[in-house]
Each structure stands twice: as structure tokens, then as C-alpha cells.
Amino acid sequence: MTGARLPNTADARSARERRPLHERLDAFGSAACVMDEHGCIVAVSARAEELLGRPGRELIGHDAHDLLHRNRHGESVPRTQCRIRRAILAGRSAQGSLMWFERGDGSLLPVAWLVTPYDLGEPGPHALVLFHSPEDADLPGPEPERPVGPLPELERLALLAELTTQLTATLDTDEALRRLASLVVPRLADWAVIDLITERDEVWRSAVVHSVDGALVNQDDLEGPMPPIPEHSTMPLSRALRGAASALAGPEIYQGAPDSGIAVEQRRMFEATGIHSAAIAPIRGLREVLGALTLGRAERPEGFTTADLPLLEDITRRAGLALDNARLYQRQRMVAETMQRHLLPQLPRVPRLEMTVRYLSAPDASQVGGDWYDAFALADGSTALAIGDVVGHDLDAAAGMAQLRNMLRAYAWDAEDSPSGVVERLEQAAEQVAEVDLATLIFARIVPVGAAGWELSWTNAGHPPPLLIDHEGLSRYLTGGHGIMLGTGAGRGRPDATELLPPGATLLFYTDGLIETHGRSLDDGLDRLRRHAASLAHRSLDSFTDLLLSRTRPADNDDDVAILALRTPPEP
């Protein structure tokens, strides 16, 4: 019986579906098996059956650790000590030079092994485990030195698969660079140097990384701005930054008279790191060169050869696509945030009244939302306050928000209507003019009363209620004046409410992104906001707002957040 076996209970269709996997495992030419996320074997190669002295039916469907893993004395090994199992659970690659597997006849087989995530095309994560019995593995010893020359084909494919998975899982440039460095150091090199070309065509040495006791350490003094790219330099890094093919380099190349500022920085890098052999390749995006990756060897004696360059080019090709996507994402985020912020107004100066605002866009950078705030002076000297949320997270919502805000300003200006009257007129006009389906809104007017008091009158169209916190930390929601949201067409009259704000009080308007979280009720979010706001009552208004936002915004928030906060003057 050769190749991986299916249990006897499997039907013929399952056998046909698994046969390509058998052939792929046998093609490795070594002992190989595929495990699911629980560590159970789902397929084995013929060589694995041969080495283990077990037919496939005794392996498939069994927990590999319980069935095979032993210490050198033949005793079972605790699961917590199994490096293969830890790697599978963590979804990462790992390798080791010595482990004992129990063969079918009870004898122990010393093995060197490699495990890496494996896409089986089926639900759930899987891992590929490759192992062989080294000739000198009968006694424990240190990890063997990596042989001179390029990676074996299997390890090369495993590295590229892991690289693709890791880099495509993030849209943050800094995180992508960190992951890239962690995958090549120390597996391929002792040092990794990443130079990026910014959108202003400046070169920035973004990472100079090496491994210390298994941890990646940045050489900060070598990172930072670089001289411009020379047009005609024949030095390897300069050519790579212009998009030329990969090349080998060593410190001796930069010992002569430098032909550019980049050559000076390269000499400094070689001297500081002790790199004696380097391989350099351009990082290309879809339309332009994004930078260059340099792999350097200092501790290990063998140098890079031309046989190493195809793998380096495969690595930089994948890195280029990932960085291209990250830059596009960040560019979209900048455009979205800039547009959203330009749609939001500047606050008026109101004597004796502190006021501040905050706006955080949704995590999805390509979207702009309908959250907004406003504050403006009215004809009678009072101040109008507004906060709202147009339903939707797209350009239509942002456009509708701008229309609604501008119309509200026009209807509120003369201050002859109550807040509810202004909102009723706004709703009637919005149905015919504005491109808004549904929206929530609080519109309020605040005026000074006497020496220190301030009177707030408002109407609430389906929006979360304002929160009032006095100077002593007593807090409550202003639930009066509450009506239905805009755009329902119900035609009901809207209520007004009035509140005298005490000296030194903080009034908070906010949108629902501050209190809504998956799996928890809205009441939980409101209570959490109230308790944190009360604890910050003595903070300055800016500190109050920043801390409140950082402490209460849900971690799984996928919505915009707008905040308008004001504070009345203390008692004279």
C-alpha cells in the first residue's frame, strides 16, 4: 500500500477528491503529512508510511502527537512541550533538528522536521509537516548549520507561502515591513535592510534589523532619511532603487571613492553591521519601484551566491504587491479623512463658554460617513449646537450630511422658531431637496442666564441623548425633547425640552459610534460612557474629551465617531 490512505469508511467520491493531495505529498520525495488545526493527520505520503512503519489507515484520523511523539526514552511528551503542535496552533512555520517518533514496531525514529501553514482548499486551517531521519541524529545536539547554497525547493515554497499569507493579512506599511523582516531574519540572513521610496520620491531607510537571542532588534541609528537616488551610479543599491535586477554586494565595493551620498551611507551600514556578503533586489509595485531589500550575512560564514537571487526576487515581488496595497489603502484613508474633515465646520468663539470637538473616521479607510457636528452664532446672540448622523457610510451619506447641515444653518439663523420648529421646517425641506433618506439629529440653542447660568433648549430627532456632568461628577442623560428620527414621513409634531446648566458643568453630544459595540446592549454602552465621563469631571475639557474617547470607544467599532463637548464657566 503506497500513498496516503483514506479510512475504509470513506466513499469513492472522497477518494477521488483526496488523490491529488496524495500525489502532491509523494512528489515532495520525503516523508510528509498534512494535519488539521487539532493536530489530526488527514493525509500522508508513501515515504512517511515507510519511515514510520505504519500504513496510512493507522495514521489518518489520529492525533499525531498522541500517536507518534515520544522523548528519547520512549515516554509520552506533554502537549505543551510539542513544538510542532505549538506551531500548528499559532499558524506559523517552525523547524527543528531532533524529535523522536514511535514507529509501528515500537522502535524510536529520530527525525528532523519542518512545519508550515498549508492551504488545502477546505474549511479550517491546515499544516504541512515534512520530516526525515538524519544520519547523525541518534544523540541530541545543537541545531545543524544551514548548508551553503539556496534553500531546498520545499523550504523555498514554504517560505513564499508564509510570506504571501503574512503580508496580505495587513494593510499597515510598518506592520508589513516588520513581518517581512521577521520572515527573512534569521532564516535567510543575519541582517535585513529595507529602503523605501516615499511618494515625494525621497528615500527612507525604514528598517535595519538583525536577530538577537531570537528577537528582532532595529539598529535605529542606521535608519532614517537617505540621500537622493543618483541617476548614473553603478553601485548595487542605487541600481536597485532605479529598478535594475538583483545583485550581490560586499563591503569592498564601497571602499573606493563614493560616487553618491547613498554610497556613503552603504559604507557606513556595512561597517556598523559587519556584513561581509549581501544580496540586494528592488521592491517593485504595479507601476513603480517602491524601494529595495538588502539581505546581509555577518555571523554565518557562507556568502550569498547568484543561486540565492531568484528567491530574493520572489520575496521582493510579493513584498511589492503588499506594499502597493498598503499605500493605496493609506492614500484612500487620507482622502476620505480629508474630505470628511473639510465638510466639518470650525467652532465659533463664545465668551465664557469652553467648547471642543473630536471626529474619528471609521476604520475602513475607503469610506466616509454621515456623522457630523456644528456650532454657530445666531442672529439674537445665542449659540446653536447640533450633532447628527445620516444613515450610510459612503459618499452619498457625506453629501447628505453637508446638505442637511447647511439647510439647518439657514433655517436656524433668524432664531424666531423654537428648536423643534426649526427641525420641523428642516425635515419638510429635506424630503424635497436633500439627498437624505434617514438621519438622527439633536438641535439645541444655548444662552447665558444671569451671572453664571446657561440655559439649554433642544429637540432630539432619534439621536442618543446628551450627557450632563456637573462639577462634582454627578451625571445624567437629558432624555427630554425626544422624538422620531428624520425621514420617516410620520408627520408628528416634535417636542422641546429646556435645562438650566449649572456652573462648571460639562455637556456632551456624541454619535452612536461611541457607545455601540457588537454583542452588548445600547444600555451597556450608555452606562459605560456615563461612568467614565463622571470620573473625568475635573479634567480640562480637552483632556476630558481625549480620555473619554480612548476609554469608551469600542475596540470593534466600525463606525465614525463625532463628539461636541462644552463646559460652562465655574461659579464666580
pLDDT of residue 243: 92
Rg of the chain (C-alpha set): 33
What is the rounded CA–CA span in Å between residue 443 and residue 464?
A: 12
Whether 158-332 and 12-144 are alike in CATH topology: the answer is yes
Architecture label for domain 158-332 = 2-Layer Sandwich (3.30)
Q: Which residue is it, cell 496552533?
A: 89
What is the rounded CA–CA span in Å between residue 33 and residue 49?
A: 10
Listed range (131-140, 202-211, 224-233) with the worst mean pLDDT: 131-140
More confident residue, 297 or 403: 297
pLDDT digits (tens, 9 = 90+) for 315-348: 999 998 888 888 877 776 666 566 555 556 778 8
What pairs with residue 113 in β-bridges? 96, 131
Average pLDDT value over all residues in the chain: 83
pLDDT of residue 453: 83
Q: Which residues contact 60 (CB under 8 A, 6 or more apart)?
A: 4, 5, 6, 7, 41, 42, 43, 44
Cell of 84: 510542532
CATH node for 344-567: 3.60.40.10
Q: How confident is the model at residue 74 (pLDDT cuts 50, 70, 90)?
A: confident
Q: How confident is the model at residue 160 (pLDDT cuts 50, 70, 90)?
A: confident
pLDDT of residue 294: 96
Q: How confident is the model at residue 479 (pLDDT cuts 50, 70, 90)?
A: very high
On whether the pTM is more than 0.85, the answer is: no
More confident residue, 184 or 92: 184
Q: How confident is the model at residue 360 (pLDDT cuts 50, 70, 90)?
A: confident
* CATH code 3.30.450.20 for 12-144: yes
pLDDT digits (tens, 9 = 90+) for 7-22: 333 333 333 344 457 6
Asked whether the predicted pLDDT for residue 405 surpasses 70, the reply is yes
pLDDT of residue 545: 95
Asked whether the predicted pLDDT for residue 431 surpasses 80, the reply is no
- Domain extent listing, the chain: 12-144, 158-332, 344-567
What is the rounded CA–CA span in Å between residue 36 and residue 553?
A: 37
| Torsion angles phi and psi, residue 9, rounded to 5 | -80, -10
pLDDT of residue 210: 93
| Mean pLDDT score, 416-445 | 84
| Mean pLDDT score, 105-118 | 86
